[in-house]
Amino acid sequence: MPRPDDQPADRASTSLTLLQRARAREPGAWDRLWALYGPLVTHWCATARVRPADVEDVRQEVFLSVARALGEFRRDRAGDTFRGWLRTITRNVLSTHFRRGARQPVGAGGSEAQARLHELADPNVELPDEDPPGEVRGVYRRALELVRGEFEEHTWQMFWQNVVEERDAAAVAEQFGVSTAAVRKARSRVLRRLKEEVGDAIE
């Protein structure tokens, strides 16, 4: 009997990448895209000093904008990435958010009013072109969690220790009582499945 991680995956889930499935309006794809990038959008909101009470509304608007424009996303030039495209959409949504707030009256006095005045100071939002390493690693780790359940634990642990923890393949092989070729195979299988699942969405 074949092991669970040796069984062929459903063709519909592996023949299309996450972005392709999202373009096709598959509900599960949007859930996965949200899981991947929702925390990063939250980080960008914090960078732009969005009030905590408004963050969820901004995140919702960002992903609504992504849903409307995803068909236009292209990688025509070197350096084009989904994360960069998402950053641009988030920047535009944030600018609209602050401009909308600027048209609303602000009550006098109090910390809430001061926070609003601080927000309204500059509706032209700038987000750094480079994200902190911890945020980038977070995207990759969340992507890995999307496919983890498709592999047996020993396969996953060999991959994790070799790739994520950067342990030498020979040391990992010795720990698990397998050949270095088996460790390389585990690494290759997980990375291949990750590429099948998220494709351009991880970049």
How far is Cα 203 from Cα 196, in angstroms, rounded to an integer?
13
Overall number of domains in the chain = 1
pTM over 0.85: no
The per-residue pLDDT for range 83-111, each reduced to its tens digit, is 989 999 999 999 999 888 665 544 444 55
What ranges in the chain are assigned the alpha helix state H? 11-14, 18-23, 27-47, 52-69, 82-102, 110-120, 133-148, 153-159, 169-176, 180-198
Residues spanned by the domain of 65: 4-202
Q: What is the pLDDT of residues 32-53, one digit of tens each?
A: 999 999 999 999 999 999 999 9
Write the pLDDT tens digit of every residue in 129-178: 788 888 888 998 999 998 999 999 999 999 999 999 999 999 999 999 99
Between residues 161 and 126, the one the model is more confident about: 161
